[in-house]
Chains A and B, each alone.
Chain A
Amino acid sequence: MTNADRSPSPDLLRLDGLHITVHHGAAAAVRGVSLTVQPGEIVGLVGESGSGKTLTCRAALGVLPAGCAIEQGTVSFGGQDVTRLPRRGWERLHGSEIGAVFQDPASYLNPSLTVGSQLAEVLRVKRGASRRAARQRAIELFGTVGLHRPEWVYQQIPAELSGGMLQRVMIAIAICGDPRLLVADEATTALDVTIQAEVIEMLLQLRERRELAVLFVSHDLAVVGQLCDRIAVFYSGEIVESGPAQEIVDRPRHPYTQALLRVASVGEFGRRQLEVIAGQPPQVGADISGCRFADRCPAVVLACRAAAPAPVAVGDQHEARCLRAVELLPELVAR
């Protein structure tokens, strides 16, 4: 997403030409990803497993897994380059500027401590709150994220709460330092549909009340379309399409996005047969000269295999990395 320069608001998070390698530099898993998140904006990253969404998120959080490294590009937060920030610098940012929630909240909470004490501990460490004040604030925060009977919840260990409640607890912990950015990596994936809707509604309200920006990662384009202002579609380590959420959902221009939408069957429940995207994505680090989606693309032409396509503007702040993006309207692509 390279519309930052056109935007009047300053970027809260900016990724510029990010290349991330895995296995100690053996393979590139993220290739030239650029995107911005502005204050109060919800940006969705979608794509199938292994497409580089989570690595991009982790780069933004400064917690790349062992063996992974940023080879090129920069990560900026609030105008400050944090690409090579030391651990102590990240300690200051985490919690107070950037919060994070993940797919499996049960494993991100210490199983032997009450959830309340875990939140209170954060408040004591990050905010210097007294024991009593931390407890009081923790109970308030549990109420803020919609947990019923927060005093009761405070005393429970993770095993005693449902998945939806745990995700709310994680969100309470993530926002307790009043961060400006929340990174939600598959935060609704493990939840059932009704709880998903509740969490999405809660994120929207947190954005409204606190001007919280959210980087929302999901493989579910339907959920992302419902929640996000802008979407970046990942495929094989690249952003293949980006733009306003409604525009992407209504008028996708990249064949992969179109295929994703068909698979997601947004708003369409009457079909009897599940659709799949034929073929497999390239191996991580595979050296491909042309378009990385060419082998699976229903609209592939000879030129697609000759050179990697550059992003093409196809609308207002809408770009697609496809040679045929301008001509490919959704209804023209063969199913």
Chain B
Amino acid sequence: MTDAQILPGSTRQLKNHTSLKQTVLNSLTMAHRGLLKMRRTPEQFFDVTLQPILFTLMFTYIFGGAIAGSVSKYLPIIIPGILIQTVITTSVVTGVQLREDMDKGVFNRFKSLPIARIAPLAGALLADTIRYGIATVLTFTMGYIMGYRPGAGIGGVIAGGLLTILFAWCISWIFAFFGVIARTASSVQGVSLLILFPLTFLSNAFVPVDTLPHWLKTFVSFNPLSHLIAAVRQLANYGTIGHDFWLSLVGALIIVALFAPLTVRAYMRKA
């Protein structure tokens, strides 16, 4: 034991609220913890490494000729589509891992520490943007190897990638919410994928919307992922920012504004 005497409780300087600065610092430390954990368990990168490689190869060669006439003509359409599908699916894992993490004793310690209540959640979500980043880089690289030459050059690709990562972070609050309220990790996975499958496939990710029946076209045009995919295509292929960009950006921010407080409240109630 250190020789220094412990300061008695009555003489300490204490405050009953957490400042914004402390909240940010706490969240960053928790994000750092998330990164350390990733380094220790590299197997959790399987989904973000294998899925982009496999899906890009598979879908491009299967659908390329049928939909766009040739693989090289299909690449500008499918690469952004696969990118969004992969990254958004990855954000489900955020919720699943949060659930698993919360079941462990260490979360009790986080709750007993004088830190910002949102920090354990925000930190975990922030760390996961690394995963989205890996998936983004791999998908674009895979596309490049197969012959994809984005019209807007590297700048457009980076802008599209950043938009995707930001969107995924916002969406991950939804799955984090499921993670907090669900009883088991597998139920989080089940519910999340059930929502995700129609959203990713019933979009403009793989096929031109004109070929769809009318009712499906309506759904696809309301699907927020369609707007995101369109925005990324515009950024990467033409270097333009259209109304799809603003729609997906505003939509993503609304999701955070809605789900972040909900998630934190549910988390606190479980405390």
Chain A complexes with chain B: no
- Name A residues whose Cβ lies closer than 8 Å to a Cβ of B: none
